[in-house]
Chains A and B, each alone.
Chain A
Amino acid sequence: MAADHQKLRVATTSLAGCFGCHMSLLDIDERLLELLERIELDRSPLTDVKRVGPCDLGIVEGGLCNAENVHVLREFRRNCRVLLAIGACAVNGGLPAQRNHLDVRDCLQTVYLTGAGIRRGFIPNDPELPLPLDRVHPLHDVVKVDYFLPGCPPPADAIWKFLNDLLAGRTPTLGHGLIHYD
């Protein structure tokens, strides 16, 4: 990917995720400095850039839970040459997908109308609020995903190895101990 020695432009985001994967990314500790010599960040919770521009690599944490997630993912896909799904939620829906056997109508009603402690609740209809999808989906259900890095979250060492391989132009591989799904 980085045949020349230009810095690689990387964007990251968290959709229906918990930022755990981002935390794990920060967990690579002092190796971050080394990484930052080789990449520059575009849109990311770490930068505050609001819209993603053309990038070499997009790293997406979290699955697709609502319409907003779909918009952001599509924007990433349009702008990133390579897309990496990071973490269990991005890879297979993860914990949020455990609501998939419930009717989303019942979920909304319970949360806003009938749940404990709610008096005179109502279901918000503000167009600013993204509507939930009837089911949570992994990223590859909606766009092409080039690489997957499982884990909840993936260990920092796995992320480091994975990014290193990618930056060096190798197909990333993880041996025993680095691949895990939990």
Chain B
Amino acid sequence: MEPAADAHDPRTFTMDGRDVPFEAGQTVLRAALAAGRYVPHLCYHPEFDPHGSCKLCTVKLNGRTVASCTTLARAGDEVESDTPELQELRRNLVQFLFVEGNHFCPSCERSGSCTLQAVAYDLGVMAEHFSPFFPDRPIDASHPDVLLDFNRCILCELCVRASAEVDGKHVFALSGRGAQKHLIVNAESGRLADTRLAVEDKAMDVCPVGVILRKRRGFLVPIGERKYDQRSIREIATANAGSSARPPAAREP
């Protein structure tokens, strides 16, 4: 255990040889992003507890691979992130996610604003490499205002967390395990229409991919003006670096 640190006296670890300051209780990922150092990530969201499931944020910490979103920063640690080996690992993980679901970006209304896609671009993923699973996942169009296209779910549980922790509704949950793990909704009928989901819910706004979609709003933003058309995810994720405007305080693990 480290002695409790003064929050105004940032200590540092190194990442790829350069110093990264951090505050007590901060994770490696959060400190890196605050310092303008991008580490690819998917299931991490600044307003929620780190989840640690996508493993995109894997770094080497003193030689051991760990998920940087769930690992607390410690002074003097040596972190490797932007190495060929780790980038290759991340490319493979992204390819895993692509083959696992049905991702047909040309017909997806999240295309251009999708985190998975943007991370894949950043990593230079040119193809899925493995054979796609082509799972059969029916969509749920029962809700008057919301469409659920499970084909693109990457199981990050952000909607589950948002609905439970922020909305207090528990609209989403997970069932099954292994490759059969899947998102379910909180209704005996299994239909979204029979849940308490409303378009104002936080759960509507956290999905990093194109699963939870507002009806009649698709493809409104023209190509060229979508979130990642102009700037890469790397630039956007580190845009606030150094500024004192920090994301709302999140509980760390």
Give me the interface of A with B, judged by CB distance under 8 Å.
85, 88, 91-95, 97-98, 100-101, 135, 137-138, 140-141, 145, 147-150, 152, 173-174, 176, 179-182
Contacts and interface: CB of A to CB of B under 8 A. Distances in A.
A97 B106 CA distance: 12
Given A135-B134, A179-B121, A182-B112, A92 B106 contact: no
A148 B136 contact: no
Contact of A148 (B98, B121, B126): B126
B136 A101 contact: yes
A92 B121 contact: no
B134 A176 contact: no
B126 A97 contact: no
B68 interface: no
Contacts, number: 79
Contacts of B112: 182
Interface of B: 98, 102-108, 111-112, 117, 120-122, 124-129, 131-132, 134, 136-138, 223, 232
Contacts of B122: 176
Contacts of A148: 126-127
Given A174-B124, A182-B111, A93 B106 contact: no
A148 B112 CA distance: 20
A152 B108 CA distance: 12
Contact of B132 (A101, A138, A176): A138
A113 to B, nearest CB: 23
A157 B10 CA distance: 46
B107 A181 contact: no
Nearest to A91: B127
A94 B106 contact: yes
A85 B129 CA distance: 12
A137 B121 CA distance: 23
A181 B95 CA distance: 13
B134 A181 contact: no
A55 B3 CA distance: 68
Contacts of B103: 92, 181
Residue of A92, A97, A141 most packed against chain B (CB within 10 A): A92
A181 B127 contact: no
Contacts of B107: 95, 98
A94 B104 contact: yes
Contact of A98 (B104, B117, B131): B104
Given A95-B106, A181-B105, A150 B124 contact: no
A98 B138 CA distance: 12
B117 to A, nearest CB: 6
A149 B128 contact: no
A21 B232 CA distance: 25
Residue of B98, B125, B128 most packed against chain A (CB within 10 A): B128
A179 B107 CA distance: 17
B132 A152 contact: no
15 contacts: A92-B98, A92-B127, A93-B104, A94-B106, A97-B104, A97-B132, A98-B107, A101-B134, A101-B138, A141-B132, A152-B105, A152-B106, A174-B126, A179-B121, A181-B111
Contact of A176 (B102, B131, B136, B232): B232
